Structure 1
Amino acid sequence: MSGFRLLDVVKILVPLLPEIELPDKLMSVDEKVVYTVSSGLVFVMSHLPIYGLVKDAPLKMVDPLFAWRPLFAMEQGTLMELGLLPMLTAAFLWQVAAALKLVKANFMFSHDRELFQSAQKVTSFVLAAVFGASLIALGYFDAVIRGRSGASAWGWYTLIFLQIFGWNVMLTFMVEILDKGYGFGSGLLSYVAFNAATRLVRDVAGVELVSATPGGTPETYGVVTFLVRALLSMDFAEIKKAVTGIFFRSGFPTIGMVLIVLASGLVTIVLQNFRLELPVRSNKARGTANVYPIKMMYTGALPVLFAFTVVANVQIALHFVSIALAPMNPVLAAFVETHGESGAAIGGVSFYLSPPSSWTASLLSPIRAVTYVASIVLLSVWFASLWCEVSGSAPKDIAKQFKDQEIIISGKRDASVSRELAKIIPRSSVTGAALLTAVALVGELVGASGKSVSVVVGVSSAFAILEEFMMDLQQNGGSSQLMNSLGVNK
């Protein structure tokens, strides 16, 4: 008699859920490029203002989520208010539950895989609804609702909720399109990479005029474009202001921040090239020797993304609890979180899980910095050690592939291949996760405000997408019209 499975509950909802069908044919390289680029453009252009809010609403709102916005593509006062956070949280929740055997699922069967994906989808919808409803119920939008008064506010609340929730549903299906094989790489990681790239370009060369305060003078957003515009004006006062501004502009990217982010990205690129090459030979073709590379970034950026996702969810939950408790028990609410006028945590438990706003803040509150760093590093290392055992690339899985292909490690017996891989792969996973986390945290501790970790995860994700693209190009790129027009196949 088979026991009850949590996945079986999802069966009830599966007929009600829209689903992206798997491709009915092998997708060509050109088609995958079109789908990937098109979905990326839709994602980038989805930062539309929420209808029903006053003009320049983000300038008039508190922002408790400021530090998490760059990583999760969250844009205040827009349809991307929640960004990718609900989907990432749902994905990690179910993946970890499956890895810890809390959920019974046999991924060898397509039926279980479909139920598992549906469970992630439903959880994502529920989280988006909970986050959106919590923001509205706790007064996040109250100060910026257009013409808010008495009973009319409920109509606006409903409209705002439907916009936020509806777009998250659409975004979930966009992610599913890429996940089902229509594009390259994981949908979520692709969007993380798109987000990191566009934010960096905007910080450097953004040409739009933006005000940092309500009623303030609009200034060019990008660091380089701000300086170039001043130089072209030939006004000494403007040039002097720009030279000073690129270092100390409040509410805008600075040259220091851009350099920190670029340095984080460059270090990540360097780390991607570290690998251990195991000498292997085939029993089928005697005398044929080769190498099997094991990357130091064996689990990629997933451990870093997991750690920041967990901490972000905990801090957001503490913020919601603090606001909800404030009218009933101010003392307990202050213990959970004390926040300033901007909405950022300045005390309570939540404060010690929030990233410092600058290097001086790290020095002035060393306990906070240590607690924050320790939480991120421990979560990242734990996930890396777990993921390398359950992701299908565990030592036993690689050893099985070697056995099926009659490959052995030079100088080792067949029976010792699994033990040899078990020594290398877990260490590589944990070391890579720890180093990548350290790179991200260095930027965060000196005030990168989420942009450092965004670029670290984005660059790692871009490498994963590029690897899949190159493999697909080698196998199926001969008939690609796009590659032929670029002269790649000549």
Structure 2
Amino acid sequence: MNMKEIFQPIFSLLPQVRSPTYRVPFKEKLKWTGVILILYFILGQIALFGLSATAVDQFAQLRAVLAGEFGSIITLGIGPIVSASIILQLLVGGGILKLDLSTHEDKAFFQGLQKTLAIVFTLFEAAVLVFTGTLAASSPSLTWLVILQIFIGGILIIFLDEVVSKWGFGSGVGLFIAAGVAQQIIVGSFNFLSAPGQPGVPSGAIPQFFYSLTTSQPDFSLLLPVLAVIVVFLIVVYAESMRVEIPLSYGGVKGARGKYPLKFIYASNMPVILASALLLNVQLFAALFQKLGFPILGEVSNGQAISGLAYYLTVPSGLGVLFTDPLKVLVYGVVFILLCVVFSWLWVELSGIGPKQVAKQLHGMGMQIPGFRSSRAQFERILKKYIPVITVMGGAFVGLLAFGADLTGALGGGTGVLLTVGIVYKLYEEIAQEQLMDMHPMLRNFLGGD
């Protein structure tokens, strides 16, 4: 009995979001995306019953990437989904799990396995966070109730993500990250309510800056997180527009020419999400091993790593860390950027946008490169000159940008801002294309519609 025969009965027991049997119109996609977004914000307001007042947010610096609301039933956010994706990508990329994701059967098996693993991770992460004291229950009798609430919230996020992927725009993972970061940026910039312990002093960066003008000399450092958001936004928008364009001609129509664009950020923003989630799991396992009496990854105190590998792989925040602990900044920066490069390569290979897959697609459409013989091998040879290079360079670039933005203390987290800009940019392109196809149905075949 092979692996597929073992897992298929399990997949059949899992609840499924029905796939549409027709092309979902633009307005219906917009409706589903809006409904899921509202449900996500509502879930973030449902507090965990029985949570201890001493609970600490161990992943506060990665909260934007997790897209979860600490203390609510969706505290885990997208963590289990991304953790499952990391495991499977490493298994498939390393050849341990032999799947051909270009086939419908293997792709469906991969998705089923990812959902199953995400559910397992949801229960595992909920149990670890509660038993290690990070999300401790207010009394021992409520321990399993707290775990159950976190588990239910995690399952809801998994299925909300599936609804968006099948019936809405983009993916739930991207939508939840963008929504959470946008909320943090707006509240962090414009909140006029008093800061904790400072009656009368606004907590938002911009109101607080104007308040400083009326009481003493202006504190321009208050605006640094806001300026960092703007700088990251402009850099990412510019990088998104950078591309290599390969000239194409259509063999069946004389004079018909076009260009195939290869974006500089070729692997999109997924490598940053995967790298951040992997480092998050290092923190999680450090706390677990310490609880078991084997602090092999370092020691954790009050939800924060204070020594060992876990400490050096914790996000450094604030430019002051460059002077107080430069070794930590160097180690984290190098590891984070290398992980982004590795996950960029894996994402390109596993998502069907590598040289071999793109060459097969273009050749099958009857395209050819002017001045070259029309063959799939020729396409692949030319694409291999560009795709591997921009994959590595693009992965290193987004890793470096996210790392640098985190050091500035940008609102929403530097990594969160980077991801949000990329997600919104891609979402805008998808919405514009979908609207165009609704207005001009004859363009559907050309743009890949059903």
* TM-score, normalised relative to structure 1: 0.82
- Does the CA-based 8 Å contact 1:362-1:446 persist in structure 2? no
Q: Distance in 2 between the 1:398 and 1:263 partners?
A: 34
Q: Which structure 2 residues correspond to residues 184-199 of structure 1 after superposition, within 5 A?
A: 184-199=169-184
- Gaps in structure 2 of 5+ consecutive residues: 442-450
Residue 161 (structure 1) aligns with: 147
Cα deviations across residues 255-297 of structure 1 (Å, max 9, x unaligned)? 2122212311221111000011122222212233322211111
The 5 A counterparts of 1:110-125 are 110-125=104-119
Tell me the equivalent position of 1:276: 244
- Quote the residue 2:168 is aligned against: 183
* Residue in structure 2 matched with residue 483 of structure 1 by the alignment: none
The share of aligned pairs that are identical, in percent, is: 25
1:204 counterpart (168, 186, 189): 189
Aligned equivalents of 1:218, 1:359: Cα separation in 2: 28
Does residue 12 of structure 2 align to residue 15 of structure 1?
Answer: yes
Q: What amino acid is the match of 1:372?
A: Y
Deviations 1:452-489 (A, max 9, x none): 0011111112222222212211112459xxxxxxxxxx
1:290-337: CA deviation from partner (whole Å, max 9, x where unpaired) = 222111111111112221111111122112212331xxxxxx63x632
Task: Report the CA distance between 1:441 and its aligned residue.
Answer: 0.7
The CA deviation at 1:428 is 1.2
Q: Deviations over 1:406-443 (max 9, x none)?
A: 22212222243221111111111111111111111112
Structure 1 residue runs without a partner (length 5+): 248-253, 326-331, 480-490
Indicate conservation of the 8 Å contact 2:89/2:346, yes or no. no
Deviation at 1:108, TM superposition (A): 5.3
2:204 counterpart of 1:222: yes
Alignment of 1:246-325 (within 5 A): 247=221, 254-325=222-293
Matched, 1:174 2:156: no
Equivalents in 2 of 1:440, 1:242: separation in Å? 32
The one-letter code of the counterpart of 2:385 is K
Distance 2:243 2:418 in 1: 18
Q: Deviations over 1:71-97 (max 9, x none)?
A: 212332222221111111112322332
Cα deviations by residue, 1:363-416 (Å, 9 ceiling, x for unpaired): 322221111111111111112223323321111222222222222212222243
Q: 1:99 aligns with which of 93, 98, 106?
A: 93
Q: Which residue of 2 aligns with 1:428?
A: 390
C-alpha contact (below 8 Å) 2:408/2:414 kept by paired residues:
no
- How far, CA to CA, are the matches of 1:448 and 1:405 in structure 2? 45
Q: Is the 8 A contact 2:184 2:411 kept in 1?
A: no
Instruction: Give the direction of change, closer, same or farther, for the CA distance of 1:358–1:272 in structure 2 (3 Å limit).
Output: same
Q: Which residue pairs with 2:445 in the alignment?
A: none
Correspondence 1:396 to 2:356: yes
C-alpha separation between the residues in 1 aligned to 2:386 and 2:351? 16
Change (3 A) 1:187 1:359: same
Which residue identity is paired with 1:191? F
* Cα distance in 1 between the residues matched to 2:397 and 2:184: 24
- Cα distance, 1:390–1:256 mapped onto 2, change above 3 Å: same
SS in 1 for 2:262: strand
Q: Return the match for 2:309 from 349, 354, 371.
A: 349
The residue type paired with residue 262 of structure 1 is I
The 3-state SS of whatever aligns with 1:359 is: coil
CA contact (8 A) 1:264 1:443 kept: yes
| Alpha-carbon separation, structure 2, partners of 1:113 and 1:472 | 24
Aligned residues: 438
Deviations 1:92-137 (A, max 9, x none): 3223323333223344554443332222122111111111111221
8 Å Cα contact 2:194/2:201 also seen in 1: yes
Q: Which has the larger radius of gyration?
A: 1
> d(CA) in 1 for partners of 2:318 and 2:339?
23
Distance 2:190 2:344 in 1: 36
